[in-house]
Amino acid sequence: MSWHPQYRSSKFRHVYGKAASKEKCYDCVPITRNVHDNHFCAVNPHFIAVVTECAGGGAFLVIPIHQTGKLDPHYPKICGHKGNVLDIKWNPFNDFVIASCSEDATVKIWDVPKHVLTRNITSPNKELLGHVRRVGLIEWHPTANNILFSSGYDCKIMIWNLDTKEAVISNPVKILEAHRDVVLSMSFNTDGSLLATACRDKKIRLIDPRAGTVLQVASYKSHKVNKVLFLGNMEKLFSTGTSRWNNRQIALWDQNDLSVPLLEEDLDGSSGLLFPFYDSDTHMLYVVGKGDGNIRYYEISSEKPYLNYLMEYRSHLPQKGVGMMPKRGLEVSACEIFRFYKLIPTKSLIEPISMIVPRRSESYQEDIYPLTTGAQPALTAQEWLNGVNKGPVLVSLRPGSGAVNSLPQFLEPEPVMKTTDMSQHQGQGGRMPLGNMPKPTAIEDSRKQLKVEEKLPKNEQKCLSNGFDVFECPPPKTENELLQMFYRQQEEIRRLREVVNQRDVQIKQLELELRNLCTDTDSY
């Protein structure tokens, strides 16, 4: 019998939740009173959108992310639906395009102006007409541009291609008719080749969306599923629901075998829905309860016990819905790894909650910020419809860095000069071993590189930090911008020190080469 330690090491074991101060919240926001089980909030690095109360039809607000404080009661709305708005989602590849669905059985695509709204927006950019009953869910494809999924109370999932000039689209490219009841939740795997759904008939289905075939069905009687979520590349599904005794329950499933869950756990006896959120970069799972103020968070592992409980954020203010900020909108200078936007209708308040890893260092923490999904699509809509699968385009969250490809690029190897311990060579009579001697071509290349850099004019020698020009950016206006500028300069200083150390190593190697040549001539 193998022994397992009681405590496991994890860099996220001490993650804590921090609510924003009053002046950084969004106050006097008329949050919807609709009882539909949805988030009612969508966030990107530029805007926060929230479904609001509106007489005669449905509407939602789009507020600039930095416009905190009290909201003007006459603030303009986006109000083109004839029924209540049930779901809103930002385009993951365009921060100024948002989709909404409503009880009027339509899906509308809106263009949001880059400046602050000055009047109500009533005319959508596109209108999708296909459902015959109200539409309760919409999801953008995670890697293909302009592919949208919608699910209605007609028990159909429709796939829309928005790469057309038509303002009204009435023919979806595909209709999935695999369900006999209302779909409660939809989730994609990392490359968008598989779709997991939770249905009111208490079953989880794994679907190939392009073929329209059901690959697997989970009908476990002791777990009544409400929400389902793909766990990145872990080949696992996570679901929330209720047990046979109506306790709130979570379950973990093997993607390749949905007959029996790997794990199921009862949480409490509350009646509110559980919203799951997964961060594939840190392998952290957050479970947010509707109707209470708690956020439980876990760490997912590929081995048993799979689900490792970390901590619980508690608040006395109950949340009706919650929004999630994409990773590219987080404050990396504060070691923030996740951010929620909590809707509190009893106080007409939206409260940001940051999940923070406590660190003392002020530099960029690369171990908690791996490459993450960026804002560039990996595929066009037609490529995905033709059967191409591709992972998301990844970016670094390091300030000033750009996008990288999701697939590794195999470049030609460059000559690398190995650093050696100089003290060992000094102990050998000042002679470098032949096996460690740098090749003449590498030395000549380094000399040429030094000469070229010395010949550069002064006006072309810019202070760049990963492609970011420190001197060309405008001066910081806020404390946050000042902190970001400070961290960028700290990173630039660190980079320059590394360059200086590399030059010192090259100089010492050249000195050793000269010393070896001198000893060789003396021996002859």
Q: What residue segments make up the domains of the chain, in order of their start?
A: 38-177
Fold (topology level) of 38-177:
Methylamine Dehydrogenase; Chain H (2.130.10)
Where is 240: in which H helix or E strand? strand 236-243
For 216-263, the pLDDT digits (tens) are 999 888 899 999 999 998 999 999 999 988 899 999 999 999 999 999
Residue 515: is its pLDDT beyond 90?
A: no
Other CB atoms closer than 10 Å to residue 6's CB: what's the count? 5
Beta bridge partners of 422: none
Residue 104: is its pLDDT beyond 80?
A: yes
Q: Are strands 69-70 and 26-27 parallel, antiparallel or unpaired?
A: parallel
Nearby residues of 75 by Cβ (< 8 Å), 6 or more positions away:
61, 63, 117
Q: Are strands 349-356 and 336-344 parallel, antiparallel or unpaired?
A: antiparallel
Q: Could you tell me if 179 and 165 are in contact, meaning their C-beta atoms sit under 8 angstroms apart?
A: no
DSSP code at position 31? B
DSSP string, 380-435: -HHHHHTT---PPPEE--STT--EE-SSPP-PPPPP-PPP--HHHHHHTTT---GG
pLDDT of residue 519: 77
Beta bridge partners of 248: 242, 268
Distance of CA 216 to the CA centre of its chain: 27
Distance of CA 447 to the CA centre of its chain: 44
pLDDT of residue 31: 94
Confidence band for 473, pLDDT divided at 50, 70 and 90:
low
Where is 25: in which H helix or E strand? none
Residue 484: is its pLDDT beyond 80?
A: no
Whole-structure pTM value? 0.76
State the number of CA atoms in the 13 A half-sphere of 34 facing the CB.
27
pLDDT of residue 118: 87
Residue 471: is its pLDDT beyond 50?
A: no
Residue 7: is its pLDDT beyond 70?
A: no
pLDDT of residue 523: 65
Residue 465: is its pLDDT beyond 50?
A: no
Residue 439: is its pLDDT beyond 80?
A: no
- Output phi, psi for 483, to 5 deg: -65, -45
For 285-337, the pLDDT digits (tens) are 999 999 889 999 999 998 888 999 999 999 999 999 999 999 999 999 999 99
For 358-385, the pLDDT digits (tens) are 998 878 899 999 999 999 999 999 999 9
- Output phi, psi for 171, to 5 deg: -120, 105
pLDDT of residue 39: 93
Residue 511: is its pLDDT beyond 70?
A: yes
Confidence band for 480, pLDDT divided at 50, 70 and 90:
low
DSSP code at position 257? B
Q: How far apart (Å, rounded) are the C-alpha atoms in residues 126 and 106?
A: 10
Residue 65: is its pLDDT beyond 80?
A: yes
pLDDT of residue 187: 96
Residue corresponding to tokens 């003007």: 72
pLDDT of residue 472: 46
Residue 427: is its pLDDT beyond 60?
A: no
Tokens of 152: 């209605």
Across 332-356, average pLDDT: 95
